[in-house]
Each structure stands twice: as C-alpha cells, then as structure tokens.
Amino acid sequence: MAANPNILANLKSYVGDKTGKTFDGDPPTGGDKGKGTPAAKPPERIPMFKAEDPKSRRAYLDAIVKKYNLPHGYGDTFTRFNEIPSSSEADTLTSKELALKMAKASGLPPSLLYSSAMVEGMSGLYPQILKGSKEESVDFSGDEKYPVPGFRNFGLDTFSDAYPGLVKKGLLPADFNKRFIKSVHTNEQNKKVNSANFDSAEAGLQAKAAMMKDAQDQFNAYAAQNKIPLSDRARQFFALAAYNGGPGAAKTLLQEYQKSGTLANDAFLKTRPAQSRYNQVYDNVMQRFSLANALDSEGYFEPPPQTTVTSK
C-alpha cells in the first residue's frame, strides 16, 4: 500500500521524549503551583466503538482515519487490538498482550512492534469477510499443526535461514524449533525464500521480535563502529528499515542522511530527505511510525485494558 503523503505531519509528537501524557480518567499533569503555570489538558480521545456494532466500528475507524490522516486499510490495527487471533487454538493472549510480551525482545516500543506486525499481515489472523464471499475466513497455512503462515502474516521471508543464528545469539530458545516448520515461498523479487509456518500467532510474533532485535543490534554495531550518534527513535527507524528493506538499504539511508545533515535532531523523521532509491523503504517505515503514533496518542497501551473480545 502506498504511503499517505500526509502522515509525516502527524509524527511530530512521536519524535523524541514525551512527558506529561494523560488519558481519560487521569488528572491533568504538569504546571507549577508556585508560579501559576497552567496544567496540561488531557488529550481528547475518540470514544471506543462497541465491539458487536458494525456501525459503531465503522464510525470509529472513520474518526481515526480523519484525525491522524491514515490509510483506511489499516483499520484492523485499532479494531483488533483487544481480540485474540483466531488462527490457532494455542493462542490465548490478545493483540495488546502479545505486543507487550514481545516488545522487550524486539527492542521496539509495543506500539511500533504491533503496528509493524499488523501492516505486514498479522491482521489476516482475525476473521474477516473477503470480497466476493459471504463467510468469514482466517489465513491458514494448510498445516493443522503449524497453521500460522510466517511469510504472509509476519513478513518472515527468511526466518528458517536466520533461525540458527538467532538461537546462537540468545534471541530465541534452543527448543523453538518445536514451534515452527520450514516453508518455501516465492518473494516479490521472484526468488525462493525459506520462511516458516508457526504453531500460533504468539510464536510468529516471537520470531518476528527476534529478527527485529537482531536487525537493530547489527545496525547499532555498524553505527557505533562508524561513530555515528543516533537517538533512540532513529535506532528504531533504521531497525525497521533493515527489517523491511534489508541491511544494505538501512546503511545507504543512514549514509545519505548523514551526508545531507538530516540526522541532526532527527530531522529526517519530520520531513523526508531528498530523493533516494530507497524512498519506498522510508515510506514503509513511516507508515508504521504513524500508526504507532496514533496508538500511543489514543492511549492504547496506557490505560486499563478494554473488554476482551475473543474472535474464535
């Protein structure tokens, strides 16, 4: 899906440190009582939709899309937040719980890990009515023991090849081989790749988190070796760029931004730098950032969980 040209305008609050956030039910924060500085007002959040009301859900999505200038096709990122994936009987955690559980292992904030997973296919693990059909369907690998397709639902094109190295680095347990089976696919470049099918959405997200952490660690080592200082947000950007476009794309973008001076103060995150052959990688990463910004701004990972909706 092509990047929405307006999403960059909504990332200012997502770049750098954020303090004093409040949500529904929280008292205003900030201010100085001694000096009369006004306290910060809680952000206005869009009221949550009613889970069993299609009109309420549609109205909620329309409001989210309008407020954050998001592509409508990413609505599942918000509406599936408190649902349990239907792809496997082994799954018992909601999307939020899965993201929180795997965020530390990925080196990314839970909102960014979750948005990346949903954009790259995790949304297909929840029941939906496809065009031309009257019945709900869920992505299925064709294997009852390993029903979750890592290639289609998590963007894990080369997981089977990467797995031994991930175990060696301590990013996955040695017995994780019981959670997946190798699956060969043809990628967008018409090349055969060794992906995997997983026994659950949880295992798929765990594998994705490990590969993202590996990409981030490798890139951090490269930046340190070349004495290139990066903010935490910049590290997250290049980790996603390496995962989405490969380490070569991430390094090229880093070199371009360093040369143009847009690494300073994370300027490249606010406005896309000059034309690059990896502009699509940039746009893909910024889509994830934009969704994460909306999730954080609406307080998805902050307030008490909403009522869980089991989609099985």
**Residue 182's beta-bridge partner residues?**
196
Q: What is the C-alpha separation between 171 and 236, in angstroms, rounded?
A: 17
Nearest to 102 by CA among 206, 234, 203: 206
**Residue 173's beta-bridge partner residues?**
none
Q: What is the C-alpha separation between 260 and 83, in angstroms, rounded?
A: 44
Q: Is residue 25 very low, low, confident or very high in pLDDT (cuts 50, 70, 90)?
A: very low
DSSP state of 265: G
State the average pLDDT over residues 250-259.
94
- Give 297-310 as a DSSP string: HTTTTSS-----EE
pLDDT value of residue 131: 67
Give the mean pLDDT of the chain.
Answer: 84
Of 6-15, 125-134, 254-263, 296-305, which range is least confident? 6-15
Q: What is the dihedral of CA 148, 189, 221, 8, to 10 degrees?
A: -80
What share of the chain has pLDDT > 90, as a percent? 70
Inform me whether the pLDDT recorded for 138 exceeds 50: yes
State the average pLDDT over residues 11-15.
37
Contacts 24+ apart (CB under 8 A), 124-129: 124/152, 124/153, 125/85, 125/86, 125/87, 125/153, 125/201, 126/76, 126/80, 126/83, 126/85, 126/86, 126/311, 127/86, 127/311, 128/76
Span 39-61, pLDDT tens digits: 555 568 899 888 889 899 999 99
Structural domain boundaries in the chain: 20-26+41-300
Identity of the amino acid at 102: M
Q: Is residue 77 very low, low, confident or very high in pLDDT (cuts 50, 70, 90)?
A: very high
Q: Roughly how many angstroms between the first and final C-alpha of the chain, as a whole number?
A: 28
Inform me whether the pLDDT recorded for 261 exceeds 50: yes
For residues 45 and 298, is the Cβ–Cβ distance under 8 A? yes
CA–CA distance from 282 to each of 4, 78, 288 (Å)? 12, 23, 10
Q: Hey, CA dihedral for 291, 297, 302, 306, is it positive or negative?
A: negative
pLDDT value of residue 27: 28
pLDDT value of residue 40: 52
Span 173-225, pLDDT tens digits: 999 999 999 999 999 889 999 999 999 999 999 999 999 999 999 999 999 99
Span 80-115, pLDDT tens digits: 999 999 989 999 999 999 999 999 899 999 999 999
Of 26-35, 149-158, 240-249, 269-278, which range is least confident? 26-35
pLDDT value of residue 12: 37
